[in-house]
Amino acid sequence: MSEARVPSQPATPPDPQPARRRHKWTMVVDLDRCTGCQACVVACQAENNIPLNTEAIYLQYRVIEWIRIERYWEKHGEEVRARYIPLLCQQCDNAPCEPVCPVYATYHNVEGLNVQVYNRCVGTRYCANNCPYHARFFNFWQPVWPSTLENQLNPDVTVRWRGIMEKCTFCIQRIRRAQREAAQEGRSLQDGDVVPACVQACPTDALSFGDILDPNSRVSRLAKDKRAYTVLKELGTGPNVIYLAKVDPYAPAPKKHDHH
């Protein structure tokens, strides 16, 4: 039986496809730098043809934000502090959302990305239920843009249809372009070639993106920081988004559910 090979320390899950793997894209979020300014949210909106989140949509709880700023309050004795944590699809190695899809509309590709196949999706919404990070978004309505905005749609990104699921792709279109350009120049990808929209837009440089398999890439170095932790570690989803805890006399030690 395959389960017989379960390791006794599964916090780092077995790599399902080590042979074919060339990259393992990873993002590092330094919470000490994040100011919750939402620039990343806007940049993502513009880059990925995300439908407009009007007031009505907000009131329906049907916002689509591939990256969002989670706001929560930390109470320390008398004073209450606002805390921000940018949350996006964690591109989990053991993504709970993948196996539950009946039609293989989402699966794990060799670059460690959790990809969504729009035209396979029938919209059972099971993946959204099974995503602990609330990182999957459903097109309840047919997305429409005012005619003035139609020309700003990104030609590299599919415009989704109603009734299907979507989520952060780590700007896979930019990854592909970087790879193409590298190939044309006959060189291999270097660290910093791939810059997702949110990373590009972050004014405080709180977000960094790269290939964790490259030992001297920026994310590899940051991931070794002692502040590094992953969200909801106890679920064993193996996220590829690594957070660096806030440096703060009040900040709790990096452990699970530091939302209180």
Partner 1 sequence: MAERGVLGLFTSAEAAASAGAALREAGVEFEVLTGSPYPEGAFGEHTPPHRLYVFPLVGALCGFSVAILLTAGTQLAYPLVTGGKPVLSIPPMAIITYEGTMLGAILFTVLGVLFESRLPRPLLGLYDKRITLEGWIGILVRGEEGLLGPVERILREHGAVEIKRG
Partner 2 sequence: MHPLPRSTTTTRDHPVEEYPTSPREVAEDIVGRAEAPWPRWRWLVLALGALFLLGVVGLALRVGQGGDHTRWGYYAALLGFLYTVAGGAPIVSVATRMAKAHWRRPLARIAEVYAVVGVLTLLLFIPLMGVIPPAEGRNTIWIVGGVRQGWPPGAPVAYDLLTLVMVALGGLALLWIAAIPDLAALRDRGRGGLTALLSLGWRGTLRQWQVHRAALGVAGGLYFIAYVGGCIPFASDLVLSFVPGWKDSIFPAYYALSGLQAGLAAVVVTAFFLRTVGGYRRYIHVDQFWGAAKLLLALSLLWAYFHWSAFLTFWYGRTPTGQNLQVLLYFGPYRPLFIASLFLNWLIPLFAFLIGPVRRSVLGPTLVSFSILVGALLDRIRLHVATWSVPDPRGHTFEAVPPPVPLGVADGLLLVGGIGGALLLYVLALRFFLPMSAWEMKELTYLRVVRPFLKTRAVVLGKPE
Partner 3 sequence: MQERRDLSDRQINRDLLWPVLYTPLWFWVAVLALGLVVSAGAGAAAWWMNKGPGVAGLNRPIMWGHLIVTFVFWVGISHAGVMLSAILRLTQAEWRRPMVRAAEVLTVFSLATAALFPLLHSGRPWRTLYWVFPYDFSRGIWPNVRSPLVWDPSAIFTYLTGSALFVFVTLLPDLAALRDRTTGIPHRIYSLLALGWRGTPRQWRLQALAGILLSALILPVFVSVHSIVSWDFGMAVSVEGWHATVFAPYFVIGAVHSGVAAVVTLMALMRWLFRWEDYIRSEHFDAIGRLLIVVATAWFFFFALEFLFGLYLREPQEVALRQAQVFEWPYNLLMILFLLTAYFIPVPLWLFRKVRRNVALMFWTSVLVNVGMWLERFLIIVPGLARKQIFTFEWSVYRPSPIEILMVTASFALVALGILVFAKVFPLVPVNEAKEGQVLKAEIRVGRRTVPAIVREQ
Please give the residue ranges that form the binding site for partner 2 (CB under 8 A).
3-4, 6-11, 13, 94, 99, 234-236
Computed from CA positions of residues 33, 37, 38, 42, in that sequence, does the dihedral angle turn out positive or negative? negative
The nearer residue to partner 1, 95 or 242, going by C-beta atoms, is 95
Question: Residues with Cβ < 8 Å from 3, sequence gap 6 or more?
Answer: none
The nearer residue to partner 3, 121 or 241, going by C-beta atoms, is 121
Give the whole-angstrom CA distance, residue 181 versus residue 189: 9
Please select the residue that binds partner 1; options are 32, 84, 107, 140, rule is CB under 8 A. 107
The nearer residue to partner 3, 26 or 139, going by C-beta atoms, is 139
Subset of residues 5 to 24 that bind partner 1, contact rule: CB under 8 A:
13-14, 16-17
Q: Residue 65 corresponds to which tokens in the numbers above?
A: 């934000």
Q: Which DSSP symbol is given to 7?
A: -
Q: Residue 257 corresponds to which tokens in the numbers above?
A: 């559910």
Q: Residue 237 corresponds to which tokens in the numbers above?
A: 């989803």
Q: Does 232 bind partner 3 (CB under 8 A)?
A: yes
Please select the residue that binds partner 3; options are 76, 81, 255, 259, rule is CB under 8 A. 259
Whether 105 and 117 have beta carbons less than 8 Å apart is answered as yes
- Closest CA relative to residue 209, chosen from 176, 170, 252: 170
Q: Give the contact letters, 147-176, x = binds to partner 3 (CB under 8 A), - = no.
A: ---------------xxxx-----------
The nearer residue to partner 1, 126 or 140, going by C-beta atoms, is 126
Q: Residue 207 corresponds to which tokens in the numbers above?
A: 């977000």
Query: Shortest Cβ distance from residue 83 to partner 1 (Å)?
Result: 30
Query: Shortest Cβ distance from residue 11 to partner 2 (Å)?
Result: 5
61 interface partner picked from partner 3, partner 1, partner 2, none, CB below 5 to 8 A per type: partner 3
Hey, how many other C-beta atoms are within 10 angstroms of the C-beta on 135? Answer: 24
Pick the piece of the chain touching partner 3 (CB under 8 A) from 119-127, 147-155, 184-192, 215-223.
119-127
The nearer residue to partner 2, 40 or 97, going by C-beta atoms, is 97
6 interface partner picked from partner 2, partner 3, partner 1, none, CB below 5 to 8 A per type: partner 2
8 interface partner picked from partner 3, partner 1, partner 2, none, CB below 5 to 8 A per type: partner 2
- Closest CA relative to residue 17, chosen from 102, 111, 92: 111
Q: Classify residue 144 as exposed, middle or buried by CB count within 10 Å of its CB (0-12, 13-18, 19+).
A: exposed
